[in-house]
Amino acid sequence: MDFEIILDSLPLYVHGLWMTVQLVGLALLFGICLAIPIALLHTVRNPLVWVFPWAYIYFFRGTPLLVQMFMIYHGAGQFRAPLEAWGLWPIFREAYWCAIIAFTLNTAAYTAEIIRGAIEQTPFGEIEAARAFGMSRLTMARRIVLPSAFRRALPAYGNEVIFMLHGSAVASVITLVDLLGAGRIVNSDYHAPFESYVTAGAFYLGCTFAIVAVFKQWEKRWHAYLRPRVEKPPARAPV
Amino acid sequence: MKRLATLFAFALVLGLAVGGAQAKEWKTVRIGVEGAYPPFSWVDPDGTLKGFDIDIAFALCKKMGAKCTLVQQDWDGMIPALLARKFDAIIASMSITDKRKKKVAFTNPYYNTPAKFARRKGSGIEISKAGLKGKTVGVQRATTHDDFITGEFGDEVTIKRYATQDDAYLDAEAGRVDLLLADSVAMADGFLNTPAGKDWEFVGPGFNDPKYFGHGAGIAVRKQTNDLREMFNKALDGIVKDGTYARIMHKYFDFNIYVKPLG
Amino acid sequence: MPDLYGYLPFILQGMKLTVEVAVLSLIVSVVLGMMGAAAKLSSVPLARLIAGVYTTIIRGVPDLVLMLLIFFGGQILLNDLGDALGWGYVDVSPFVAGTLTIGFILGAYMTETFRGAILAVSRGEIEAGFAFGMSARQVFFRITLPLMVRHALPGFGNNWLVLAKTTALVSVIGLQDMVFRAGQAGGATHKPFTFYFLVALLYLVITAVSDIALRWADRRSQAGVRRA
């Protein structure tokens, strides 16, 4: 294990780390914004309404992220003429935005399912009370359903964030220099697969631990009301 | 316990004897090729490897009196695979550079062609520090072209690195890069003269600076197998002298790509 | 619907390879999962430690990184090992690297699934087995294992679906699965979207069929269980 290679390449890895953070961060942000309306639409009774979110979720959860990304990145080339006509080509030209679009669509599907599951577990009494107050569906969603749904969804969403982090590694396949992209450059330059990929793996491991720690903090805070009451044991009396 | 030790030692000796015996006689040679670099190597729709590198490989083996098997290997793993003894030689248009000489040994060069930029027709991009500023250049990862663009213009351009040259052509066609930098001959045959590359043209001078591009493409072998290296050199001289090289060369090119003018 | 320019058989051949990788990886992952669960539940601290490190690393590092590491690095490792033990050259093909990697990765998730399933088997049944004088091995194979299947099924099904989609990554190390072939066909015909969309639909076929099979298995395993 040649540590000199790793030390020399650290700036490249840090650059890659920043790219990974951008890709994952933006994808999660846009993904949540997209997931909430999709989840809400899914809970509507009318089949003509929920069939669309259902199909979207089915497609993006049933196919690999790599294929979704290829569909957008390589596929955009096939539709260059209409994209240019609509002025969208500058976006699809960049691998960066193609990756973010693919990641966003993917995480939105999983997140929507998580949120929908959490919404459906809202205690019915709260819904009844909201209706008794005369709240509209939108107000009820905003004030009652969603806040408690987010709380319930926290552990599952933490998992999803980690999956998104790991999934983002495929961005390196379309020339983006994220953490894995940095690893591939180091591997080709020094012919050192161990050093290059183990370092990349170590960075990802560190990020994963960080995310787990953050979510543990949040769970501690927002699930405080779920913790069982613990009686403090009486102080030991001196012998 | 003692029985186990003797058994182990016996197996070790046997294994070493079998392993060691291979090095003396080169009756079969495994050659690593890429298969994604027309016209030097590519894969036909029916799966056969074709190209200049392939033909040279077979010609050299015939001259050496050895049986050759081709092993397809992607570029990123080429040298590690050689060192791991997946094959015994690399004939994949690999330029002889000092950086690579640290890990492997090369034969004499078997061809030398300059690198050139290509740009979209009508884009008017000039090859200079000013002209390239802010542009995106596509190169194959870990090639001399990658080293050159990083070293010379790394601050001016955005570099996109691809696993194969073919991938770079795809993105060029899709309009994702402003320029390509690759071997002039490979780019002409593999892209510019094909329908996919009809909107692209060469621009600027040919680049041949040995600092980045080395001294032509050579055959890489492990440093320990010097006897194989000598065999290849002798065979190379042989096929140049008896006209086999010229015949193969003219099958693909109507200009000289050897390091010296052919007699 | 364009006739796919005659590339359909080419893509379907790739699908066959995808399914092969998936099934073989599944077997590897189940074996590793059982071993891992046993290790995590064992009374030997070292076994628990190794299994713990295994699951933590796998769930902390992206699949693609592990795949490249095993494919490129594994070859060198195997060679050094081979040198030390006197073997000749042992090739690590993309198929072997891909299958082992995916099996290895999903083995960690299976470990957690099986561990939870084993713990969910009610103590009473196990105690009854011992009361009958069964040995520990008999109790495990005749009582714990059959009963744990019911608890493991949902997690197992989920893991299988994740595994099936992860097989797409083997295209990155050059294995000619359907994703790789879609790239080739798309490049040759200049219609990459068409072929990648086709491959997406083929993956949906795999997931849909799996879904039906898993739901049937779920129903069968729940037969006779009183539901709340």
Q: How far apart are CA A173 and CA C64, in angstroms?
A: 10
- Residues with Cβ within 8 Å of residue C121, at least 6 apart in sequence: C143, C144, C147, C148, C151
- The burial class, CB within 10 Å (0-12 / 13-18 / 19+), for C140 is middle
Whether residue A63 and residue C186 make contact (CB cut-off 8 A), yes or no, is: no
What does the pLDDT read at residue B8?
Answer: 53
Amino acid sitting at position C152: A
Element (H, E) at B94: strand B89-95
Domain made up of B115-213: CATH architecture: 3-Layer(aba) Sandwich (3.40)
What does the pLDDT read at residue B21?
Answer: 39
Domain ranges in chain B are 27-112+215-252, 115-213
Measured between CB atoms, does A95 come within 8 Å of chain B? yes
Element (H, E) at C153: helix C145-166
Whether residue A58 and residue C200 make contact (CB cut-off 8 A), yes or no, is: no
Whether residue B12 and residue C187 make contact (CB cut-off 8 A), yes or no, is: no
HSE-up (13 A, CA, CB side) for residue B1:
0
Q: How far apart are CA B64 and CA B232, in angstroms?
A: 7
Q: How far apart are CA C199 and CA C185, in angstroms?
A: 11
What percentage of chain A reaches a pLDDT higher than 70? 97
HSE-up (13 A, CA, CB side) for residue B97:
20
How many residues in total does chain C contain?
A: 228
> Does the pLDDT value for residue C111 go beyond 80?
yes
What does the pLDDT read at residue A96?
Answer: 94
Residue of C nearest to B196 (CA): C190
Interface with C, mutate which of B86, B88, B141 (most C CBs under 10 A) = B86
Nearest to A75 among C69, C179, C192 (CB): C192
Residue of C nearest to B164 (CA): C174
DSSP assignment string, B128-159: SHHHHTT-EEEEETTSHHHHHHHHHHTTTSEE
The structural domain count of chain C equals: 1
Q: What are phi and psi of C7, to 5 degrees?
A: -90, 0
Tell me how crowded residue A189 is: count the other CB atoms within 10 A of its CB: 19
Task: Give the structural domain span for C86.
Answer: 20-174
Element (H, E) at A174: none
- B27-112+215-252: CATH number: 3.40.190.10
Q: How far apart are CA A181 and CA A167, in angstroms?
A: 13
Please, what sign has the CA dihedral across residues B224, A183, A72, A84? negative
**CA-wise closest residue to A116 among A37, A226, A30:** A37
Taking residues C33-59, report their average pLDDT: 91
Whether residue C193 and residue A74 make contact (CB cut-off 8 A), yes or no, is: yes
> Does the pLDDT value for residue A106 go beyond 50?
yes
Q: How far apart are CA C42 and CA A86, in angstroms?
A: 62
Measured between CB atoms, does B166 come within 8 Å of chain C? yes
Q: How far apart are CA B186 and CA B115, in angstroms?
A: 9
In chain A, the N- to C-terminal Cα span, in Å, equals 58
CB C102 within 8 A of CB C166: yes
Whether residue C174 and residue B12 make contact (CB cut-off 8 A), yes or no, is: no
Domain ranges in chain A are 3-225
- Poorest-pLDDT segment among A209-213, A223-227, B12-16: B12-16
> Does the pLDDT value for residue A226 go beyond 50?
yes
Q: β-strand B36-37 against B28-33: which pairing, if any?
A: unpaired
Q: Is the peptide bond before B109 cis (omega within 30 degrees of 0)?
A: no
Residue C180 is assigned to a structural domain of this protein: no
- Residues C164-188: pLDDT tens digits? 999 999 998 888 899 988 988 887 7
Interface with A, mutate which of C64, C76, C162, C190 (most A CBs under 10 A) = C64
What does the pLDDT read at residue A51?
Answer: 94
Q: How far apart are CA B161 and CA A106, in angstroms?
A: 26
Q: How far apart are CA A58 and CA A13, in angstroms?
A: 36
Work out the angle at residue B21's Cα, subtended by the Cα atoms of residues B89 and B230, and round it to the nearest 5 degrees: 40
What does the pLDDT read at residue A102?
Answer: 96
| A231 confidence band (pLDDT: 50, 70, 90) | low
The set of long-range contacts for A126-132, using a CB threshold of 8 Å and a minimum separation of 24, is none
- Residues A153-179: pLDDT tens digits? 888 899 899 999 999 999 999 989 999
- The burial class, CB within 10 Å (0-12 / 13-18 / 19+), for B139 is buried
Please name the residues between 75 and 104 in chain A that touch chain C, using a CB distance below 8 Å: 75-79
Task: Write the CA distances from B107 to B101, B215, B232, integer angstroms.
Answer: 11, 11, 7
> Does the pLDDT value for residue A198 go beyond 90?
yes
- Residues C61-104: pLDDT tens digits? 999 999 888 888 777 777 777 777 776 666 777 888 889 999 99
Q: How far apart are CA C109 and CA C2, in angstroms?
A: 41
Helices (H) and strands (E) in chain C, counts: 10, 0
> Does the pLDDT value for residue C112 go beyond 50?
yes
Q: What are phi and psi of C85, to 5 degrees?
A: -100, 5
Q: Which two tokens stand for residue C7?
A: 């590339």
Provide the 3-class DSSP secondary structure of residue C30.
helix
Q: How far apart are CA B150 and CA B211, in angstroms?
A: 13
Task: Write the CA distances from B153 to A196, B129, B163, B210, C124, integer angstroms.
Answer: 25, 7, 21, 17, 73
CB B181 within 8 A of CB B144: no
Measured between CB atoms, does B152 come within 8 Å of chain C? no
Residues of B in contact with C71 (CB under 8 A): 77
Measured between CB atoms, does B18 come within 8 Å of chain C? yes
Taking residues A2-22, report their average pLDDT: 91
Residue C222 is assigned to a structural domain of this protein: no
Provide the 3-class DSSP secondary structure of residue A79.
coil
DSSP assignment string, B84-132: TTS-SEEEEEEE--HHHHTT-EE-S-SB---EEEEEETT----SSHHHH
What does the pLDDT read at residue B214?
Answer: 83
Across-strand partners of C48? none
Residues of C in contact with B173 (CB under 8 A): 190
> Does the pLDDT value for residue A239 go beyond 70?
no
Measured between CB atoms, does C187 come within 8 Å of chain B? yes
Task: Write the CA distances from B16 to A131, B81, B84, C86, integer angstroms.
Answer: 83, 21, 16, 5
Of 1.10.3720.10, 2.40.37.10, 3.30.930.10, 3.40.50.300, the CATH number of A3-225 is 1.10.3720.10
**CA-wise closest residue to B114 among B193, B209, B203, B35:** B209
**CA-wise closest residue to A74 among C184, B75, C202, B163:** C184
**CA-wise closest residue to A208 among C60, C79, B227:** C60
**CA-wise closest residue to B225 among B73, B17, B22, B15:** B22
pLDDT tens for chain B, 263 residues long, are 555 555 555 545 444 444 443 445 788 899 999 888 888 988 877 778 899 999 999 999 999 989 999 988 888 788 888 887 888 999 999 999 888 888 899 999 999 988 999 999 988 888 888 888 889 999 998 889 998 998 888 888 999 999 888 889 888 988 889 999 999 888 988 889 888 888 899 998 888 888 888 888 999 999 989 999 999 999 999 999 998 999 999 888 888 888 887 75
**CA-wise closest residue to B245 among C197, C144, B237:** B237
Rg value, chain B, Cα: 21
